[in-house]
Amino acid sequence: MLLENKVSLITGANKGIGRQIVIEFAKEGSDIVFTDIKRDENTESLIEEVKRLGRNIIFFEADVRDFKRAEKVVEGIVEKFGKIDVLVNNAGINRDRVIWKMSEEEWDVVIDTDLKGAFNYIRAVVPYMRRQNYGRIINISSINGLRGKFGQANYSAAKAGLVGLTKTCAKELGKFGITCNAIAPGMIETDMIKKLPKEVLDEALKETVLGRFGKPKDVAYLAVFLASDRAKHITGEIIKVDGGQYI
């Protein structure tokens, strides 16, 4: 198992990509801690699924925008398990609107969730990872953080910020045995894309050279690799999972 005896924290994991990362990490032997903004039926079903895989699992209700709550979550993990090995900053939202119609609240909530949320949890785990001289940090960015996207000034800015945050953390933390990488998905089949207009989906599909959208597993498999010791010499990288959509 690639993640045997590891303790992993995945934020925003009730559904979608985060949920699949939890499942794949558990299959590879990791004990799991996950967060989301509220506990619901998705939370309960995910806990049961991980337990069936024979792994320990804990859920914390947490808004990633809350700096103090991030500290408390991580303190709870270390109190329970004695360490934290892997952080996956997955939590994210979008509030799409052209910039001349975008409200201050729509800008702030996306930046605070998608970018500040990642900072909050990195800031919370790093003191423990430094002491153990080991850690894996994985940020879920987006190809739209690399290229921009019409109607997504807030989302693209936040995901671009994650790119800079990832590279800076890689430089600052490498000497402590901590790697930091980002995954930049293209269009992935999650509940989020079900809300998009058909013309938007058709345009995105045309952009892919493989002629299909990705699945949450496509992202989760890469996250497993980056969290494992097979990726111990990889840091500061932004890896696209997009079926060639960015090309």
**CB neighbourhood size of 223 (10 A):** 26
Check which CATH number belongs to the domain holding 117 and give it. Answer: 3.40.50.720
| Close Cβ partners of 204 (under 8 Å, ≥ 6 residues apart) | 186, 187, 213, 245
Average pLDDT for 26-46: 98
> Is 205 inside a domain boundary?
yes
Tell me which residue has tokens 């198992």: 1
- What local confidence, expressed as pLDDT, does residue 199 receive? 87
Say which of 121, 128, 134, 155 is annotated catalytic: 155
pLDDT for 78-134, tens place per residue? 999 999 999 999 999 999 999 999 999 999 999 999 999 999 999 999 999 999 999
Tell me which residue has tokens 């919370």: 124
- What local confidence, expressed as pLDDT, does residue 152 receive? 95
Q: Active site includes 121?
A: no
> Is 162 inside a domain boundary?
yes
For the entire predicted model, the pTM comes to 0.97
> Is 34 inside a domain boundary?
yes
- What local confidence, expressed as pLDDT, does residue 12 receive? 98
Render 147-172 in DSSP notation, one character per residue.
H--TTBHHHHHHHHHHHHHHHHHHHH
Instruction: List the one residue out of 142, 123, 238 whose CA is nearest residue 188.
Output: 142
CA separation for the pair 36, 69 (Å, rounded): 12
Average pLDDT for 191-210: 88
Tell me which residue has tokens 């952080």: 87
Average pLDDT for 46-58: 98
> Is 2 inside a domain boundary?
no
> Is 246 inside a domain boundary?
no
> Is 183 inside a domain boundary?
yes
Asked whether the predicted pLDDT for residue 180 surpasses 90, the reply is: yes
CA separation for the pair 146, 195 (Å, rounded): 23
> Is 174 inside a domain boundary?
yes
What is the domain extent for residue 13? 7-241
> Is 30 inside a domain boundary?
yes
- Please state the domain count of the chain: 1
CA separation for the pair 228, 214 (Å, rounded): 22
